[in-house]
Amino acid sequence: MITGYGHFVQLAESLQWDETELDLSVDRENWPKLTEAENAKVLGLIAGFVIAETSVAGQLGSFQEAASCDDAMEATFRSQARDEARHARFFDLVASDVAGVPGATAAARRAVLRDQVSSELADLFEHRLPATAERLAEDHDGLTAAVGLYHMVIEGVVLLAGQHAMLDALEGLSVGLPGVRKGMELVLRDERWHIGFGSRIVQSADIGPEQAASMLEQGETAAKVWGDLISAESIETAMKQHRRRLKASGIKFW
Ligand SMILES: [Fe+2]
Ligand SMILES: [Fe+2]
């Protein structure tokens, strides 16, 4: 196994940010001025991020455990878990403070937003990912396959496509949401190193053709969980990047 995960921890350290320091005052003021279509799109994406980030933040423990033979890799999963927890807090903050989603706790707000996401998205984050993490807890040899789903498919395809769609949507709004935009950019910056970290793990593993085909196929299915919140064109771009990333990790499909 290739070592040298240490630099990811240093990178994560240098990229730390605090969601409570973002200025959301203009966003709060402008939110009610969004058109109905703008509101539906932005809130739909936020709902997806709240469900997704809460789920990913909760699943990294098994990854950390499975990497316990490599101190640097284990520490990197720990750094990532800290990022994901912050992302979950950021999206919940936007939901409660900007979009005014009702609920006294994050869990209560999540329950409200849960109705806004597709059953495919809910299934991916509430069933498939937890089941994969559970399998990993029982069998640490499944780390590469689990990283294939978590880092390559979920982060590399589903979340990245959603984050790009959100940045595009924010760009085209009739009023600005500058605090949300700033937070999205910071989330995206974190996600880039998470995907780089996952790619490195996949690269250092011996991936057979079957596992490679499964990662590609999972990407194709998962890219569709956003429904019409993401254009077919954006999904195609995300899949192209997914293929390129897998290829760069030494995986051959053709
Ligand atoms: Fe995240
Ligand atoms: Fe991430």
**76 C-alpha to ligand 2 centroid (Å):** 12
Assign residue 227 a region (left: φ > 0; alpha: ψ between -120 and 50; beta: otherwise): left
Helices (H) and strands (E) in the chain, counts: 12, 0
Burial 217-242 (b: 16+ CB within 10 A, else e): ebbeebbbbbeebbeeebbebbbebb
Mean pLDDT of the chain: 92
Ligand nearest to the CA of 88: 1
**68 C-alpha to ligand 1 centroid (Å):** 22
Q: What is the pLDDT of residues 38-62, one digit of tens each?
A: 999 999 999 999 999 999 999 999 9
Residue 253: which pLDDT band, with cuts at 50, 70 and 90?
low
DSSP state of 229: G
Q: What would the mean pLDDT of 23-43 be, rounded to a whole number?
A: 98
Q: What would the mean pLDDT of 179-200 be, rounded to a whole number?
A: 96
Q: What would the mean pLDDT of 119-128 be, rounded to a whole number?
A: 94
Picking from 194, 222, 242, 53, the residue whose alpha carbon sits closest to that of residue 128 is 222
**29 C-alpha to ligand 2 centroid (Å):** 30
CA 172 to chain centre: 23
**59 C-alpha to ligand 1 centroid (Å):** 12
**189 C-alpha to ligand 1 centroid (Å):** 10
Ligand nearest to the CA of 60: 2
**83 C-alpha to ligand 1 centroid (Å):** 6
**163 C-alpha to ligand 1 centroid (Å):** 10
Q: What is the pLDDT of residue 2?
A: 47
Q: What is the pLDDT of residues 203-238, one digit of tens each?
A: 888 788 888 888 889 998 898 899 999 998 888 888
Q: What's the pTM value of the predicted model, to 2 decimals?
A: 0.94
What are the residue boundaries of the structural domains of the chain, listed by start?
Answer: 6-248
**84 C-alpha to ligand 2 centroid (Å):** 6
**126 C-alpha to ligand 1 centroid (Å):** 15
**89 C-alpha to ligand 1 centroid (Å):** 10
Phi (first) and psi of residue 47, to 5 degrees: -60, -45
Ligand nearest to the CA of 152: 2
**187 C-alpha to ligand 1 centroid (Å):** 6
Q: What would the mean pLDDT of 16-37 be, rounded to a whole number?
A: 97
Q: What is the pLDDT of residue 1?
A: 45
Ligand nearest to the CA of 193: 2
**254 C-alpha to ligand 1 centroid (Å):** 31
DSSP state of 184: H
**153 C-alpha to ligand 2 centroid (Å):** 11
Q: What would the mean pLDDT of 62-76 be, rounded to a whole number?
A: 93
Q: CATH code for 6-248?
A: 1.10.620.20
Ligand nearest to the CA of 151: 2
Q: What is the pLDDT of residue 214?
A: 87
Q: What is the pLDDT of residues 132-166, one digit of tens each?
A: 999 999 998 889 989 999 999 999 999 999 999 99
